Amino acid sequence: MNAPATIPLSRVADIVGATNVITEPSALAAYIVDGLAPQIAARPASAQEVSELVKFAAAEKLAVIPTGARTKLGIGMPPARYDLAIDMTRLDRVISYDPGDLTLSVEPGIPLAHLAEVLAEHNQFLPLDVPFSDRATVGGTLASGIDSPLRQAYGTARDFVLGMEFISGNGALTKSGGRVVKNVSGYDLHKLFLGSIGSLGVITRINFKTFPLPRASATFLASFADATAAANFNSLIQKSSLRCQSVEILSPKAAEILDAPTNEGWSVTVSIAGNDAVITRAHRELETMARSAAPNSLRNFVRLDTAAEKFLSLAIREFPATAATNRAVVAKLSCLPDSIASLCQQTSSIADKHSIPAAHIFHGVGVGYCALLTQGNSAAQLKECSQQLLALGGTNNISASIPCCSFELKRELSVWGPPREDFILYQRVKRAFDAHNIFAPGRFVGGL
């Protein structure tokens, strides 16, 4: 529950200015997290103002949730307390950018769409191809830990975030990592912030390695009779010398939701970047691998035209958002690439047992989503099905969580799955960064 004491409005106004303090209930509704609204939202314009807000919150024992464009506030458990929202959207500058050195430093409130425009002027980009990209901010994207299909080629944000500045629980401005690609000094403490949903501190600056924009690309789509054949095709791709931008495995239900240009079973989309010679070679090798993936299983193999390629890429990127908008329960799963077919069969079996349609999308590296498409199912059915999906985590190198579901379901289960053996380390990290337990209390793993 929120603290009963009223926050001194004048103190917050002194820090960020009266025009950047939000107290009207109708406006605060935009900051609600799982049914809980803050008493005040403050919009700082500098790291110093963020620091002063955090010091104030620590002194008053106020619970703080940092926010950006608020596209992913539904991730995590309901907060135990929520008094002050720190809206970071005014910290939206490009601090420094050296195209020649492929390095970039930005404030967390900069929208991904705007940053993409800045980088494109120099034929560069960041591989943060995530849901809500038209509205999401850089800081919120990193804090949410949401996934990108481009991890096939570029890895996750852990691989191209060079450093950060952040405000810890005592209000101190702290730095981790560096601003150049070959930085080797210090500990990579900033990596702890990726996916921490604001539970450790407030990010105030991020340093990135940037990448050249591909000059040309092509997307190929292969359709198979079953999940095993599709997974076999993916395994051949992963073991080949082809450097793919993305590889996505789609179940028939997912293809239907995405309006993908196929209706022939399980599909695999493969995106390749390069010149004409590279794309021609990839076309030839991919078709050969598709035909050898499983005898008599290949139903179709095509190269998509430019319009279909763009449409399908966008639809795949937005799949978790689309499913969540339709009130589906979205489970995030990961396994070894060779276990994708088995995991899809396990999750499908669980969903079928409860008469709940399920749609699957898996990146070729073994991370994906299973959306439970609720159609009048009872709360008890949904709870039991979700619990069984979460129970897969920790077995056979599988991890499982539920980033998207209703607040009502969150009250019935832990969306982070069963406790892990290393949970004591999570607790120690939380205490080290947030000794007063003011940042997003209760939202992270194990109620941290």
Instruction: Please state, in angstroms and rounded to a whole number, the distance separating the CA atoms of residues 382 and 376.
Output: 10
Beta bridge partners of 219: 271
Same structural domain for residues 281 and 309?
Answer: yes
Mean pLDDT for 45-55 is: 97
Starting at the edge strand found earlier in the chain, the sheet holding 244-250 runs: 298-303, 217-224, 266-273, 244-250, 358-363, 367-372, 329-334, 399-404
Is residue 60 domain-resident? yes
* Those residues with Cβ within 8 angstroms of residue 224's Cβ, 6 or more apart along the chain or in another chain: 230, 233, 265, 266, 267, 268, 293, 294, 297, 298, 299
Instruction: Please state, in angstroms and rounded to a whole number, the distance separating the CA atoms of residues 288 and 298.
Output: 11
Same structural domain for residues 29 and 63?
Answer: yes
Q: What radius of gyration do the chain's Cα atoms show?
A: 22
Same structural domain for residues 196 and 124?
Answer: yes
Same structural domain for residues 251 and 265?
Answer: yes
Beta bridge partners of 134: none
For the chain, give the mean pLDDT: 91
Same structural domain for residues 331 and 400?
Answer: yes
* pLDDT at site 323: 85
* pLDDT at site 321: 87
Asked if pLDDT for residue 2 goes beyond 50, the answer is no
Q: Give CA angle at 206 (52, 133), nearest 5°.
A: 110
The residue behind tokens 């590889």 is 247
Confidence of residue 263 (pLDDT cuts 50, 70, 90): low
Asked if pLDDT for residue 3 goes beyond 60, the answer is no
* pLDDT at site 5: 52
Question: Which has the minimum average pLDDT: 91-100, 174-183, 305-314, 338-347?
Answer: 174-183
Instruction: Please state, in angstroms and rounded to a whole number, the distance separating the CA atoms of residues 397 and 409.
Output: 26
Asked if pLDDT for residue 185 goes beyond 60, the answer is no
The residue from 288, 317, 346 where one domain ends is 317
Is residue 289 domain-resident? yes
Summarize the chain as % helix, strand, coil (round to 5): 35, 25, 40
Same structural domain for residues 201 and 256?
Answer: no
Same structural domain for residues 191 and 226?
Answer: no
Q: 306 exposed, middle or buried (CB, 10 Å; 0-12, 13-18, 19+)?
A: exposed
Is residue 94 domain-resident? no
Asked if pLDDT for residue 1 goes beyond 70, the answer is no
Same structural domain for residues 304 and 328?
Answer: no
Q: Return the SS3 of 372.
A: strand
Which domain CATH number covers 376? 3.30.70.600
> Would you list the DSSP string of 278-291?
HHHHHHHHHHHHHH
- Domain of residue 120 covers 101-212
pLDDT tens, position by position, 372-406: 988 777 888 889 999 999 999 988 889 999 999 98
What is the residue type of 405?
Answer: C
Mean pLDDT for 240-250 is: 95
pLDDT tens, position by position, 316-342: 999 988 888 777 899 999 999 999 999
Is residue 427 domain-resident? no
Q: 77 exposed, middle or buried (CB, 10 Å; 0-12, 13-18, 19+)?
A: buried
The token duo for 74 is 């539904």
| β pairing state of 84-87 and 40-42 | parallel
Is residue 432 domain-resident? no
The residue from 89, 116, 131 where one domain ends is 89
Mean pLDDT for 151-160 is: 93
| Per-residue three-class SS string for 416-443 | CCCCCCCHHHHHHHHHHHCCCCCECCCC
Is residue 238 domain-resident? yes
Instruction: Please state, in angstroms and rounded to a whole number, the distance separating the CA atoms of residues 134 and 213.
Output: 19
What is the residue type of 169?
Answer: G
Please report, for residues 4, 134, 139, 168, 300, the alpha-carbon distance to residue 144 in angstroms, rounded to integers and kept in the order given: 29, 16, 9, 18, 37
Mean pLDDT for 168-185 is: 78
Is residue 367 domain-resident? yes
Same structural domain for residues 341 and 374?
Answer: yes
Instruction: Please state, in angstroms and rounded to a whole number, the distance separating the CA atoms of residues 169 and 50.
Output: 11
Number of neighbouring beta carbons within 10 Å of residue 277: 8
Which domain CATH number covers 270? 3.30.70.2190
Instruction: Please state, in angstroms and rounded to a whole number, the distance separating the CA atoms of residues 301 and 283.
Output: 10
The residue from 379, 394, 410 where one domain ends is 410
Which domain CATH number covers 182? 3.30.465.10
Beta bridge partners of 173: 167
Give the count of domains, the chain.
4
Mean pLDDT for 16-40 is: 95
Is residue 267 domain-resident? yes
What is the percent of the chain where pLDDT is above 90? 79
Mean pLDDT for 353-368 is: 94
Same structural domain for residues 312 and 336?
Answer: no
| β pairing state of 94-98 and 84-87 | unpaired
Mean pLDDT for 97-114 is: 96
Asked if pLDDT for residue 182 goes beyond 60, the answer is no
* pLDDT at site 183: 55
| Per-residue three-class SS string for 154-167 | HCCHHHCEEEEEEE
pTM score of the predicted model? 0.91
Nearest to 150 by CA among 239, 233, 68, 219: 219
Same structural domain for residues 283 and 378?
Answer: no
Same structural domain for residues 84 and 58?
Answer: yes
